[in-house]
Amino acid sequence: MAADTTARVRDVLTWLERRASRKNVAGMARYGIVSPKVFGISVAVLRAYAKRLGRDHALALALWKTGSHEARMLAALIEDPARVTATQMDRWAGDFDNWALCDTVCFHLFDKTAHRWDRIAAWQRRPEEFVRRAGFALMASVGVHDKTATDAQFRKCLPMIRRAATDDRNYVRKSVSWALRTIGKRNPTLHEEATTVATALRHSTSKSARWIGSDTLRDLSSAATTKRFARQRSKTTRRGTTDE
């Protein structure tokens, strides 16, 4: 590690230690955010600090190696997506030990890398709880952020969701629901297809699948969602009439 990077890591850890809060650590633990080394610093504070640090690949790698929860959160926020390799993604995913770290890395970094679709396909079959969650958290994150992704790409995700729906581990089950709900909100076509999958899951013999189906249908049938897609369909119909 270069001397400059070593010094910066030391500065970051000092900054974190000065803001440590046992009360916040206890509060985070109640929400399932546990790790061997937690300072108890909010995401909002970390994001503001990450902006001051700026993009820094070397620092991100070094911070991750410290094992600190907050240092790893910062690593995700300052890492350059263009420099992230599939090997790095696999290594970091293997270190995930709580849902907050998993989701932050997927939502703020991994979904912007060139390897996002390959990692979705690989991780959704993995047995480790948080690696498998990462597959679906990444799927959901891409669904939110990637405006260039095609319906066909998300359509390939639906069989993955059906297979994983019977996994009754809490953090996997919630990520599967998140992914299906996000896909269903992309556009009217995917909304219809995701609703069909959710309806089938709701009638499954698996308790986990039934929960995912019900959770998804509740969201996809909400007034806000149905109203948005009704407006989109109306606009499409009007454009078709005008073109004629």
Q: CA 50, CA 104: separation in Å to the nearest integer?
A: 13
Phi, psi at 166, each rounded to 5°: -85, -5
Output the six-digit token pair for 140: 């959901």
Question: What does the pLDDT look like over 89-120, one tens digit per residue?
Answer: 999 999 999 999 999 999 999 999 999 999 99
d(CA 139, CA 238): 33
* All structural domains of the chain: 116-244 (1.25.40)
Radius of gyration of the chain (CA): 20
The pTM assigned to this predicted structure is 0.93
Average pLDDT over residues 80-95: 98
Give the dihedral sign, CA 239/148/143/194: positive
Compute the distance between CA of residue 140 and CA of residue 136 in angstroms, rounded to an integer: 6
Q: How many CB atoms lie within 10 A of CB 64?
A: 21
pLDDT in tens, 125-165: 999 999 999 999 999 999 999 999 999 999 999 999 999 99
